[in-house]
Structure 1
Amino acid sequence: MQYFFEKEYRNLHKSMIFRVRTEKTLDKKDIRKLEIILSAQYKKEPMKEKMGYGGIFNRSSFLSPWSSKAIDIIKSCNLPDDIEIEIGRNWLKQSSRADMNARLGYVDKMTEIKIINRDTIKKYFNKKIKDQKQEHQIIKINKIENYADSMSLALSKNEISYLKNIYKKLKRDPTDVELMMFSQINSEHCRHKIFNSDYYIDKTKQKKTLFSHIKSTYQKINRDVISAYKDNSSIIRGYKTSDLILNSDQKYINKNNNEAYIIKAETHNHPTAISPYHGAATGSGGEIRDEGATGRGSTPKIGFSGFTLSNLNIKHALLPWEKKSISRPARIKNALDIIVDAPIGAARYNNEFGRPNIFGYFRTMEFEMINNSKTKKYMGFHKPIMIAGGIGKIDINFSKKQKLNNDDCIVILGGYSYKIGLGGGAASSLKSGKSSKALDYASVQRDNAEIQRRCQEVINRCTYMRKNPIKSIHDVGAGGLSNAIPEIVNESSKGARIYLDKVVNAEKNMSPLEIWCNESQERYVIVLSPSSIEVFDRICKRENCPYYLIGNVTTQKRLVVSYHDDTPIDIPMSYLLGKPPITPIRISSKNWIAINESEIEYPDIKKCMGYVLMMPSVSDKSFLITIGDRSVSGLVVRDQMVGPFQVPVSNVAITKTDLNSKSGQVMTIGEKPNIAITDSSASVGMIFGEVLTNIASTYIGDISKIKMSANWMASSTNNNELKSLYDAVSKLAQFSKKTNITIPVGKDSLSMSTTWINNKKEHVVESPVSLVLSAFASIQDVDLHITPYCKGVQNLYLIDLGAGKNRMGGSALHQSLNIIDKDVPKLDDINLIVKFFNCIQKLIKNKIINGYHDKSDGGLFVTLSEIAFASNASFSMNEKSLGELSNTELIEYLFNEELGCVVAVNDDDTRKFEKVIKSYSLTKHTKCIGHLFADLQNSGVGEFCYISTKEPIFLLLNSLRKYWSYLSYQIQSIRDNSLTADAEYKAKQQTPVIHNPNITFKHKPISKTYLNLKNKPKIAIFREQGTNGHKEMANSFMQSGFDCYDLHTNDLTDNPSRLQIFDGLAICGGFSFGDVLGAGYGWANKILYNDDISSNMYKFFHNKHKFVLGVCNGCQMLSHIKHLIPGATHWPKFVQNKSKQFEARQVNVNITKSNSILFKDMEGSIIPIIVSHGEGRIDINNKTKLKQVTMKYSLNGTNTEQYPFNPNGSIDGVTGFCNNDGRVNIMMPHPERLFSLSNFSWAPEEWKISPWRKIFYNAREWIG
C-alpha cells in the first residue's frame, strides 16, 4: 500500500510530496498521525489531481539518508515497523513545460531523478523494484588491462603484470570484485606510491624517497610522539585531564586520565570538484572518522577547513585580476559554485556531528604563464584543494590497537551501503579528465552526519569502560570495505572470512563489487571478541546505532568473501597486500622556467589598497565562519572571531584539554601556492615561517613541542612539478630538523591537473606544488595568548624577518595585477625565526605586548588594517623614512609579504620590550612604525588610516572595511537572503558602537556546601539521537552542585517513570534526527506518540518542585509539546532564520523582567552569549502576543531586530521564554557553552567569572 501527503511551500507554486509505503493498511488515526508528523495533507490519488507536471524524486531503488531518519521518527511514533517514506521536492504547480527544468533546480544525479510529465509520474509511483541477487563477473587474465581502462582503475603496467602473475599462480581468472579491490588498496590515494618511489633526477638516484625525508623529522626528534605514520591519526602526549564520562549507572563523573591528543589533516579534492557540497561534507566526515578511529577509539574535538580555487568570476562583480580567467570543462563545477556550496557542506557536517570548526583559509589563484620559448602554461586550481583537519583526544591506555585472535568478530558500525563512492580511491589518483563522467559522479560519496554522531556515542561509551570492548577500529574510507577489512586483519597478520550478504544495503540490486567496494560514509570496521558482542549490542541499541556482524578473523592468512552461495573473493593476504612493484620516478632538472614581466608599473596606491583588501586570501572570511557552530562541546577558547566587534582575524585556534582545565592545545595553518608557481622551495620556507609566526602568538614554551601535518598537492604528470615537489619536501624536512619540529602525519594528493577537449584542442590547467602545513602544540595555559585586538593608545612595532628586502614576487598585490615575478620572499635564516619565536614567547609570558598579528597575505598594510578592524581603531604610520620613499618603494614596503609581525606595546612597557628584543639580537629587525588609537573620539571624523608620506595618505577606516568585506557580501548575497547580506555589509561600513556588557547583580561563587553534599539534587541531561551539546550542559550543572545523569529518550521507552526521580530536566542542543521534518519536531513527536512517555512528561512538568531548561534544539522540541506544560500556551514555534542560513555568533542579550527562576536578580543585565542555530526565529509577528520573555537581542543597550546583531530576525529581538510560574525555561542561545570565562570569544577584562554561571546557581538555590 502507498499513501501520499502534500506540504505546500509558503508563497510558492511548489510543494513537497511524501510517499509512504507499508504492507499494512493504515486506518484514519494513522493517516491523521502522519499528517501531523509530516505537517502535510493526505492526498488519496495525487496523480489524478491538478498538481502540476512533476518534480525531483529519489531514485526508486535508493533509500536516502533523509528517509532513514524520517523512518526512525515514524517508527518511534508507534506506526507500522515496515513503513517506508520518501520525499519528492519541488513538485511544480502552474508551470509550463518551457520553464520546467529551470524551476526544478539542481538535481543530484547519483541519487535523484527529474520527472516532468504525468505518465512518467504514474510509472514512477507504481514501479515495484525487487531486490534480486547479482552475480560477480569473471575477467580473463589477458583482459585485465582492458577492464582496468574501462573502469579507470589507475593501474600501472607493472601492477597489471603483477596481477597477471598472481592469477597464473592461482591458476584461475580474477573476478571483477578482486580487481576493483586491488586497485583501491594499491591506488596512489591509499598507498602513496610517489612518496615511496625512488627518485632519479638527471639519472642520479636520490638518497631518500619523499616519505623518507618526512620520516627523518621523527628520527631526529620524536618528543611526546606516541604514534606516527601507522594509525588513522598521529597521537601526541598531552596533559593530565579530568574527563567527563558516564559510569555504568549513566551518571556523569570526572575521570582522571593521562590523555593524549591526536592530529590529522586530509584533502577531498576530486569529489569537491564534481559535487562541492557532498565532496566537502564527506571530506570533513572522513577526517572526523579518522580522529574517532585512532587507537581503540578516540574523540574528535576541534576542526579546520580550507579551500584553494581558481578565480571566482562573479558575473556582476568581476574583479580586475579575473579578466584573463581560463575556461573549464563541464564535468567539474566552477570556483564560484564550489565556494558557495562546499563550505556549507563542510560546516553542516561539523555542525550536525557536533565538532566546532574553528580555523581555516581561503585562496583563489589562476595565472597564464610564459617561458623564454614563448610557450604558454596555465596554472590554477580547477581541481580544487579542499582540506579538513583537526585535533582529537584519546586515553593513552587505548592508544594502541590490540592483536586480533582467531574467531574475533568483525562488525560494521554505522550506516548502510549505497551505490556511491565507487572507485573513489582510484578516481582521486587520476588527473581530472582521465576518467569517464559517469565514473566521476559514481566516485563521490554522500553524507549523513547524524548517524556518525550516533557512532561516536557508541565509541565514546566503549572507551568510558575500563575494559574497552573495542580491540581494533578503522574508519571505512577510500576503497570501502575492500580496503578497511584487509587492513584491520593484516595488522595482526591474520585473514578474514566475510559474509557479504550480511551487509545491510540501502539500495536494491547491488552487485558484490558494489557492496564490497562502495565508499558509503559513516561506517567503521570494529573487531570485538565474541564475549563483548552482548555489551556492544546493548550500547548500540540505546544509541539507535545500526551495526551488523559480517564475519570473523581467521588464523589462515587468506581473505575469503562469500555472497550467498558464491565466493567472489578468495585470495592470500600476501598477494593482496604484498608489495607490487613501484615505478621509479625519473625526471630531469626543470625544463620550463617562467619569465618575469618586463616592467612593473603600479597603479595609484589607494587603488592598490582596494585591490589587495578584496583579494580572497586577504579579505573578510565571515561568510565561511558564521555558518559553522564554533562553540559546541564547551571546549573552545579561541575561534576565528576576535574582540568585542567579532572580526575574523585570529592567528590561531585554541581548545581546552577538558571542560574545566587551564591546559589545552593550539593549532594554525600555513599555505603559499602563490609563491610555488615560480619557486616551490621558497614557498615551503614561507609556509613554515607563516605557521611559526602564527602559532608564536600563543605561549607554548619550547619550539620542539610543535608538531606538524604536511599535506602535499602537485601534478604528478609534469616533470617540472615532480622536481619542484622533491625540492619542496626535502626543504621542509631540512627546516623541521633544524628547529627540532616533528612531522608525524600528513597526506598527498598528486593528481592536481585538469584536462579537457574543446573544439578538438586539448586544454590543461595544472596546480603548482601546494603544501598545506598545519601546526599543533600542547599549552599549559589557554588564556596565555595574544590576539590582534587592542585597547587604548599603543605603539606599533614591526619585527621584519625579511631584513628589509621587500621582495614582491607572489604577493597579493602582484596577483591582483596578474604579475609573475620570480623575486619571491624566502626564509633566508632559519636560526633567525627560532630566535624570533623564543622572543615572542618571552614577551607573551611576561605580558609585555598587548596585541599581535603576523605579516602575511597583503603585507604590512593588511596587518595594520586588520588590527584596526579588530580594535575599531585608527592607526598612523609616521616613520620619518616614509617621506623619502618613491611611490614604487612605498608600495613595496606596504605590500611585500616577507615574514614578520606587528606587536602593540604600551608606553609604559616600551623599555621592557626593547630590552627583550635586544636580548634575542632582533634590534636591527625591529622598529616602531606608528601608533594605534582605540577607544577615542576622533572629533566626529571616525576611525582612520594615516600614512605620513611625501603626499600624506588619509583614509577612513570604513572605506577600507568596504573593500575588505566586499567578497563576503557578494557570496552571502548569492547564497543567503540578499536582504540580510545587505544589512550586514552596511553594518560593517558603519563605525560599530557596541554597548558594553552590563551586569546588574553581584556574582558570588556557588556555596561549597552545595558542592560537598553527598546526596545532591539530581538532574537528567536529556538527549536523543543527533543531540551533541550534552557534555557542556552536564558540566555546567555539575559545577553548580547537581548530580547529572544521562537520559536518552529510549530509556523512557523502556522505563517511562524513571523521569520522576529527577529534580530537574535539561534538554540539550544539537540536531535530533538530523532536523528532519523540522528542528526538534521529530523528537517531540516521539514523545507525544508514546503515551507512557508523554504522560510522565506531563506529570513532571506539572510538579511544582521540578524545573526544566531547554536550550536550542531542546527549546525547539519543548515548543512543540507546550500543551503538556502548564502556563506555556504563549510560547511560539521556532522557524528558519531570516537569513535562510545557519547562524553562529557571539551577540549581546538583554535579560528582561519575567517570572523565571533561572534569571532571578539578573533583570537589566546585558551579556554576550553564543547562538548556533538555523531555525531560531519566533513565529510571531505581533508584539502584544509576547509574554514571559526572558531575554532579547541587544544593540547599543536596546532591543534590536537589526541583523546580524539579531541573528535570526525574531520580532523585538526575543529569544527566550519561561512558563507562567517560571520553572520551565526555553531559549535559543547557549549559556551552558559560556560557563567558563575562557569560552568567551571576547569578554571584559575586569570579569573574573562568567556571568552565565548565575542561571545554574539560581537553579541550585531554587531547589534548596
Structure 2
Amino acid sequence: MTLDTVKHAAGTPDVSQPWKELGLKEDEYARIREILGRRPTGAELAMYSVMWSEHCSYKSSKVHLKQFGEKAPESDALLVGIGENAGVVDVGQGYAVTFKVESHNHPSYIEPYQGAATGVGGIVRDILAMGARPVAVMDPLRFGAADHPDTKRVLPGVVAGIGGYGNCLGLPNIGGEVVFDSCYQGNPLVNALCVGVMKHEDIHLAKASGTGNKVILYGARTGGDGIGGVSVLASETFDSTGPSRRPAVQVGDPFQEKLLIECTLEIFRENLVDGIQDLGGAGLSCATSELASAGSGGMRVELDRVHLRDATLSPEEILMSESQERMCAIVEPGKVDRFLEICEKWDVIATVIGEVTEGSQLEIFWHGEQIVDVPPRTVAHEGPVYHRPYERPSWQDALQADDANKLARPANSDELRAQVLKLVASPNQASKSWITDQYDRFVQGNTILAQPEDSGMVRIDEETNLGVAVATDGNGRYAKLDPYAGAQLALAESYRNVAASGAKPLAISNCLNFGSPEDPAVMWQFAEATRGLADGCLELGTPVTGGNVSLYNQTGETAIHPTPVVAVLGVIDDVTRRTPVAFAEEGQLIYLLGETREEFGGSAWSQVVHDHLGGLPPVVDLEREKLLGEILIAGSRDGMIDAAHDLSDGGLIQAVTESCLRGGKGARLVVPDGLDAFTFLFSESAGRAVVAVPRSEELRFTDMCGARGLPATRIGVVDGTESDSTAVVELQGEFSLQLSELREAHEATIPGLLA
C-alpha cells in the first residue's frame, strides 16, 4: 500500500480524497486544508473526521453550552469543572468525588449488548482517568413502546450488556431510570453514569507536559472493532431500514477493564504519571491530540509500535479505532521501567509509542515515514463552530393549547380506583425489578441505597460513614411541551431525589439527548433546554461539572422528544441517617409537603388513561425546591422523618403506593381541604414530597416547616401489614385497595411484556 505521507501530500494538492464519506462537510475539508496549508494526508483526514464529528467536537452545541460556564454559580465544592474527562467536587474529610454521565445511544440500537456494555466501560475509564477509584454506576434508559417487537430485541440486550459488564467489574449499579415511549422507537437512549472517589491530592488531568516524557499506550490490543464507532454513529440519523453498521460498534472485555483499573490505580499510588487520558470516542486520534493540545509542547508518536489485534489494520484505521479497555499515559523517562513492571504484574500490555517534544506539532510516524503533522489544538479543541438556525416550531402553540387539564376525569369512585390500578401497572410506573435484579446493586458492601430508592447512595469512608448520593432524571414529555421548563423540571426532580434521601446537592452532570441539529425546531428545543438548565443551576447553586450532548437521535424525519437527563450529586455526612422510601412503622403520620395544583400537562395520568400529550408542564419554582430540600435534609439529619419520597411521575398515589410496597405497610389517606380526590391523587405539581413522621416528632417537624414557610399537610397514617393481609391503600370515602392487589399490578407488567 502506498502511504499518503506529509511530504507527498504537500506536493500533490489535487489528489481526490474521501472527505465526504468520512462525514466531513465541504467547508470543513476546505478549513483543514487552510489550517495545514496543503491537503491532509490520509491519516490526518481520518483524525480530523472523527475529532470534528458532532460527538467529539460539539460543533452544533458549544455555542449554547458556554452558558454553563457563563452562568455558573459560585461553589466552594467545585475542584475540576467542564473540560476534563469528568468533573470533581470536594465532599469533605479530604475526599473528592468525580462523576459524569454520557450517551451510547446509537451503538446500543445497532448492537444492544455491546453498545450498552461498552458505554459502561467508557464512562468508567473517564472516571479512572481523573485519578479516582470507580465505586458505582447508574444507567438512565429510554426505549420505544413497551409492547413493540423491537423493544423486545433492544431492551434485554441493553440490560444484559449493562449488567454483564458492570457486574464483572464489581461495580454496584445503584440507580437510573427506565422509560418507555414510542418516540424512542429506533432511537433508544442508553446513558451511563459513573461515580469515583479519591483524595484531593490524587486528581489527575489529561495533559502532555515535560519535554522528553514518554507516551505509553497500555491496555487491550487495538482491533478493527469500533472504527469510527461512536464518533461517526452519533453524528448521523438512522434511516427507516433499521440496524446497520454493525462493525462500527465496539466490543467490550470487562475482565480486561478490571485489570486496567487495578493496574492504573497502582500506577497512581506510586505517582508514575504526569498526564493520562482514556481511549474512548475517536480512539488514539482523541487521546494523542487532546493530551498534546492541553500540554506544554508537541508530541511525536510512532504508530507502528501500537499493539494490534489485527495486523492488517492501516494507519488510518489504527487512529480511528475505538477498541475498548485502553489508556494513554505521559510518564517521565526515569519512571518508565516501573510503569511497565506494574503493567506486566497485572498482565496489561504496555508500549512506549512516543514522547513529548519541544515543538508545537503533533507528529505521527509509520515505519519511519511521517504521516501526520498537525497543530493539535486544531484537531482537539478548535474544530468547527456552528451557529445553527433555530426557530420555535410551528406546532408548539397548538400542542400547548391542547390542555390536558380538560381531559375527561373519573366519574365516580369505581373509575378512580380503576385508574389508580391502571396507572401503577403501566410500563413507566410499574416495578422495574425484572431489569434491576440483573444488576449487582450491593457488591463491595458500601451501597446504602439503590433502586428503587429516590437516589443511589454509597458510603465512601467506613470509619466516618461519609457518603454521596446520586440521582438521574429527565422527562421528555415535559420537555416536548416546554423545553425550558422541562429541563428545569428534570433538574428539580433530580435535586429533590437527592435531598429526599438526606444528602445535600452539590453539583450536576448532564446528558442532553435531542434530534437532528439541522432541524431548526430541534435546535430551538436544544437552545431552550440548555438555557433553562443553566438558569436553573445558577438559582439552585449547583454548577455543571461536565456531561455529554447526543444529537441526531431520530429516524428519518421523526425526532425523539427532547430529553435532557440531569444527574445531581450530593453529600451526606453520616449514611446511617439516610432516609429511605419505605413506610416501615405502623402509626407513623403521612405528611404531604408543598402545594398541589391542577397540573396534568405531560402527566403519567394523561398518557396512561388518555394516550395524550398536550398543555403545559407543571410550574417550576426553584426557590421552593431549595426550601423543600433544606427541610428534607434537616428532617433526615435530626431524626424527624423516617421515610421520604419525592412526588413526580404519577403524582401522590404513585409515590404512596411505592412507599407502601417497599415497606410492606398500608396507608389510610384523606383528601385535604381545598382539593378534590382526583387532583390529590394524580396531579404532578413540582416541589412536593411525601414523608412519614413518627408521632413523637410531629410537633417538632411541623414547627420547622411552619417557621420556614413550607406547606405541610397531614394526609394520613401508615396502617396495616402486608404479611398478615391487613395492609390496604385506602382513600377515605372513595376506595380501598389491598396491598397484595397493588403489588400484583405493579410487579407483573414488565415480566409479562418481556418474558
CA distance in 2, matches of 1:612, 1:851: 23
- 1:622 aligns with 433
**CA drift at 1:437:** 8.4
Once residues 151 and 362 of structure 2 are traced to their aligned partners in structure 1, the CA distance between those partners, rounded to angstroms, is 43
Shift of 1:661: 3.2
Deviations 1:55-91 (A, max 9, x none): xxxxxxxxxxxxxxxxxxxxxxxxxxxxxxxxxxxxx
Identical aligned residues as a percent: 21
Aligned residues of 1:672 and 1:687 also touching (Cα < 8 A): yes
Letter of the 1:355 counterpart = L
TM-score (norm 2): 0.93
**Structure 1 residue 699 displacement after superposition:** 3.2
Q: Could you say what secondary structure the match of 1:147 adopts?
A: coil
CA distance in 2, matches of 1:815, 1:340: 24
Q: Deviations over 1:217-265 (max 9, x none)?
A: 43x312121111122111111333xxxxxxxxxxxxxxxxx33111111
How far the C-alpha of 1:430 sits from its partner, in A, is 2.4
Residue 286, structure 1, aligned to residue 122, structure 2: yes
- Paired position in structure 2 for 1:479: 282
Correspondence 1:462-541 to 2 at 5 A: 462-465=267-270, 468-541=271-344
**Contact 1:623/1:972, CA 8 A, preserved across alignment:** no
Matched with 1:1096 is none
Shift of 1:930: 1.6
Q: 2:82 aligned to 229, 234, 245, which one?
A: 229
Give the secondary-structure state (helix, strand or coil) at the position aligned to 2:657: helix
Q: How does 1:1090-1169 map to 2 (within 5 A)?
A: none
Quick one: which of 175, 183, 195 aligns to 2:49? 183
Partners in 1 of 2:672 and 2:195 — Cα distance? Answer: 46
Q: After superposition, give the CA deviation of every residue in 1:459-499 in whole Å (9 maximum; x if it has no partner).
A: 1112222xx01111100011110111111122113222222
The Cα of 1:575 is off from its aligned counterpart by 4.7
Confirm or deny that 1:343 pairs with 2:125. no
Using the TM superposition, give the Cα deviation of residue 711 of structure 1 relative to its aligned residue in structure 2, in angstroms.
1.5
- Determine the structure 1 residue equivalent to 2:697: 909
Q: Which one is further off, 873-882 or 719-728?
A: 873-882
Alpha-carbon distance between aligned partners in 2 of 1:193 and 1:937, rounded to the nearest angstrom: 58
Mapped contact 2:282–2:322 kept (Cα < 8 A): yes
CA contact (8 A) 1:792 1:936 kept: no
Secondary structure of 1:308's aligned partner: strand
Q: Does residue 433 in structure 1 map to residue 238 in structure 2?
A: yes
Max Rg structure: 1
The one-letter amino acid of 2:547's match is G
The alignment partner of 1:954 has SS state of strand
SS in 2 for 1:416: coil
Q: Distance in 2 between matches of 1:878 and 1:835?
A: 25
- 2:457 aligns to what SS in structure 1? strand
How far the C-alpha of 1:436 sits from its partner, in A, is 11
Match of 2:350 in 1: 547
* Aligned residue number for residue 599 of structure 2: 807
Distance 1:386 1:512, change over 3 A: same
Range that drifts further, 956-965 or 445-454: 956-965
Could you tell me which runs of 5 or more consecutive residues in structure 1 were left unpaired when the two chains were aligned.
Answer: 1-132, 198-209, 241-257, 316-333, 367-378, 641-648, 756-763, 974-1264
Match of 1:745 among 531, 546, 549: 546
Aligned residue among 504, 508, 512 for 1:708: 508
Match of 1:820 in 2: 613
Out of 21, 30, 35, the position equivalent to 1:150 is 21
Matches of 2:315 and 2:179 in 1, distance apart? 42
Distance 2:154 2:533 in 1: 30
Contact 2:667–2:716 under 8 Å retained in 1: yes
Query: Separation in 1 of the partners of 2:681 and 2:21?
Result: 55
- Please tell me whether the aligned partners of residues 390 and 524 of structure 2 are also in contact (alpha carbons under 8 angstroms): yes
1:582 to 351, 376, 385: 385
Q: How does 1:755-766 map to 2 (within 5 A)?
A: 755=556, 764-766=557-559
The aligned length equals 738
- State which of 58, 61, 66 in structure 2 corresponds to 1:212: 66
Amino acid at match of 1:929: I
Question: 1:371-404: per-residue Cα shift (whole Å, max 9, x none)?
Answer: xxxxxxxx44531111111210223223244762
Q: How far 1:818 moved relative to its partner?
A: 1.2
- Structure-1 residue corresponding to 2:140: 306
Larger mean CA deviation between 813-822 and 342-351 belongs to: 813-822
CA distance in 2, matches of 1:339, 1:677: 24
- The equivalent position to 2:654 in structure 1, one of 842, 862, 868, is 862
Q: How far, CA to CA, are the matches of 1:492 and 1:806 in structure 2?
A: 56
Conserved 8 A contact 1:134-1:509: no
Q: Give the aligned partner of residue 728 of structure 1.
A: 529
TM-score by length of 1: 0.56
Residue 629 of structure 2 corresponds to 837
**Which of 53, 58, 72 is equivalent to 1:192?**
58
**Residues 639-1038 of structure 1 aligned to structure 2 (within 5 Å):** 639-640=450-451, 649-700=452-503, 706-715=506-515, 716-755=517-556, 764-789=557-582, 790-800=584-594, 803-816=595-608, 817-827=610-620, 829-879=621-671, 881=673, 885=676, 890-899=677-686, 900-922=688-710, 925-935=711-721, 941-949=725-733, 952-970=734-752, 973=755
For 2:573, the aligned partner's letter is Q
Going from structure 1 to structure 2, the CA distance change for 1:958 and 1:850 (only over 3 Å counts) comes to same
Contact 1:180 1:423 in 2 (8 A): no
Number of the residue aligned with 1:1190: none
- 1:524 to partner: Cα distance: 0.2
1:850, 1:528 → 2: CA distance?
51
What CA distance in whole angstroms lies between the structure 1 residues aligned with 2:506 and 2:478?
24
C-alpha contact (below 8 Å) 1:382/1:765 kept by paired residues? no
Give the Cα–Cα distance (whole angstroms) in 1 for the partners of residues 75 and 233 of structure 2: 32
In structure 2, C-alpha distance between the alignment counterparts of 1:355 and 1:446, rounded to whole Å: 19
- Matched position secondary structure for 1:783: helix
Per the alignment, do residues 580 and 739 of structure 1 end up closer, same or farther by CA in structure 2, a change over 3 Å counting? closer
Shift of 1:825: 0.9
Residue 389 of structure 2 aligns to a residue in which SS? Answer: strand
Alignment-mate amino acid for residue 25 of structure 2: S
The SS at the match of 1:470 is coil
| Greater RCO, 1 or 2 (C-alpha within 8 Å, sep 6+) | 2
Rounded to whole Å, the distance in 2 between the matches of 1:920 and 1:818 is 40
Distance 1:778 1:574 in 2: 36
Distance 1:738 1:312 in 2: 37
How far apart are 1:275 and its partner, in Å? Answer: 0.7
Q: Which residue of 1 aligns with 2:447?
A: 636
In structure 2, the residue corresponding to 1:849 is in which secondary structure? coil
AA matched with 1:614: A
Aligned to 1:84: none
In structure 2, C-alpha distance between the alignment counterparts of 1:823 and 1:196, rounded to whole Å:
28
C-alpha distance in structure 1 between counterparts of 2:380 and 2:506, whole Å = 34
Question: Which is helix-richer, 1 or 2?
Answer: 2
Counterparts of 2:195 and 2:472, CA distance in 1: 13
Instruction: Name stretches of at least 5 consecutive residues in structure 2 with no aligned partner.
Output: none
State the one-letter code of the partner of 2:141: F
Q: 1:520 to 1:907 in 2, by over 3 A?
A: same
Name the CA distance, whole Å, in 2 between partners of 1:815 and 1:936.
30
Task: Let me know the Cα RMSD of the aligned residues.
Answer: 2.5
Deviation at 1:431, TM superposition (A): 3.2
Report the Cα offset of residue 156 of structure 1. 3.1
Q: Distance in 1 between matches of 2:222 and 2:210?
A: 27
